[in-house]
Amino acid sequence: MRNPSKILSSTLVLALLCLAAPAYSMGARASKDSYHLQSLKTLASKGGVTPERLEEFWFSLAKEPRTRESAAKCVSEIAPSTRARDAFLDCVGERGSVALSGDLGHALFVLRSKLVQSTPTRETLRTLSLVTWTEDLVREAQRRTGRSASWLQRGKGYLKGSAKTDFDFQDGDVVVGLGDSSISSLISQITNTPSRYSHAFIVRKRAGKITTVESLVETGVREFPLSHLLKDPYNQLTVLRWKDNASRARIAARASNWAAGVATRKAPYDMKMDFSEDHAIYCSELIVKAYAKATGLKPKDLVRYQSRIDSQRVFKFANLLGVSNTVFFSPGDLFNSPYFEVVADYRKPGDLMKAWELYLMGDLFIERLESGYKVTPGPIFTTVPMAVWLGQLLPSTFHEDARLIPRSIGPYAMSVMATTQIWIYDHALEDLKRSLGTRSLLEHPPWKMRGELERSMNRHMVIRESFSR
């Protein structure tokens, strides 16, 4: 949504936010629905706060403020304890309907930038969960009142423009993003440490022309024009940049050149997630190797932490998709480099709900896998393996990069992916859309969304048949 020339008044802000509570309270509080109540407890635990305080905070957003001070000062209350995080919610809640200001959003972004680059611990992840949700509430409030809410740059606040390309990308910028599919949501969460990111790519800038170099499941490693970014359904993007000003241009050029060289030889995508060989390369592997080559650093010194799949049941599912390693560099791990800094963050305007739907659905999906459920391709998908095999034998109708059936995915993996997306995710998300009616984070707390998704997974016959013990 483009910014209107006239900023709506604070009276309208109050009116809009007052709509938030009734949409939920008419169904009564979470305690009157077992699905919502359990989800409230689960998400409160993930956010490191008490369920009562989380629910009280939600309803405070529709009340008259007890103080007019900026809620940005509340960020100083956040510390690695339940009591401190509860105090943060109390502090913001005192500001009521005017709490969700741009100042608060920028303060939370600065804090999140520090947290994602610290050693991942249980308490760090809890704080990140709480901060991310509150950030998105701010963006939704900003968007609904006509203010810029898409790009947020450190030190500059919210930028004008709502397109993914409305940012001054520099050569060598590393961009991590969250895709728009079931597999994207699972990639971001199947590992320890989980993150909100499923893909990573590097920006290349030559003679004023900007391209992206990335490894996609569909094509392998390729160099794309910047317009390609507009077509990709990312709900969130975060930009990382080489921290040292003196060496940035030289190292960034080396890294983007190396990545472009891999694109020139059209390296295939590596579904195995095997960092030890260079023939096939997955997305975050491309970034780590590009900067390792550019600096001479060892990969483990460049990025200090590697994700791992701890659960054997979750790994069995990942193995069906072709993953054969339990330890690898995931997109979220790129934050754990002392050599990069977070410079900007993008959220898709008008559809912040989508990222949360994917996150919550992925959380439930992983929970089911860990409790012993398995994905079972239905009758319709029994023909998928043969169709995939035939499709991979045939050349693309137009161009290799336009291939619709990836060579990197095996036939059975494709049927599992199709079942997960079409039979499980799509049905549950459609049920959620019908249940909620509107698509705004200010009208639906995440525990209600999660509760409705779980209700659908338990009651929808097709989902139960496709995702059974």
Amino acid residing at 342 = V
CA-atom Rg of the chain in angstroms: 22
Q: Where are the alpha helices (DSSP H) in 26-121?
A: 34-47, 51-60, 82-94, 102-115
Q: What is the Cβ-side half-sphere exposure of residue 429, based on CA atoms within 13 angstroms?
A: 23
Domain ranges of the chain: 10-149, 174-343, 365-468
Residue 9 has a CB neighbour count (10 Å cut-off) of 10
Cβ-count burial 83-96 (b if 16+ within 10 Å, e if not): ebbbbbbebbbbbb
Residue 166 has φ and ψ, to the nearest 5°, of -85, 55
pLDDT of residue 21: 41
Which range, of 3-7, 163-167, 400-404, averages the lowest pLDDT? 3-7
Q: What pTM was computed for the model?
A: 0.88
**By 3-state DSSP, what share of the chain in percent is helix, strand and coil, each rounded to 5?**
55, 10, 35
Of residues 406 and 168, more confidently modeled: 168
Average pLDDT over residues 39-45: 96
Which range, of 120-129, 371-380, 439-448, 458-467, averages the lowest pLDDT? 371-380
Domain 174-343 classified CATH 3.60.110.10? no
Residue 332 has φ and ψ, to the nearest 5°, of -65, -25
Instruction: State the DSSP H helix or E strand holding residue 372, giving kind and residue range, or none if neither.
Output: none
For residue 221, give the 3-state DSSP assignment: strand
Amino acid residing at 44 = A
State how far the Cα of 132 lies from the Cα of 10, in Å rounded to an integer: 24
Average pLDDT over residues 97-116: 93
State how far the Cα of 139 lies from the Cα of 151, in Å rounded to an integer: 10
pLDDT band at 175 (very low <50, low <70, confident <90, very high): very high
Contact assessment for residue 215 and residue 205, using Cβ atoms and an 8 Å cutoff: no
Amino acid residing at 146 = G
pLDDT of residue 408: 75
pLDDT band at 5 (very low <50, low <70, confident <90, very high): very low
State how far the Cα of 424 lies from the Cα of 239, in Å rounded to an integer: 32
Which residues on adjacent β-strands are paired with residue 216?
220
pLDDT band at 407 (very low <50, low <70, confident <90, very high): low
| The residue count for the chain | 469
Q: What is the mean pLDDT of the chain?
A: 87
Contact assessment for residue 143 and residue 349, using Cβ atoms and an 8 Å cutoff: yes
pLDDT of residue 4: 35
pLDDT band at 352 (very low <50, low <70, confident <90, very high): confident
Residue 410: is its pLDDT beyond 80? no
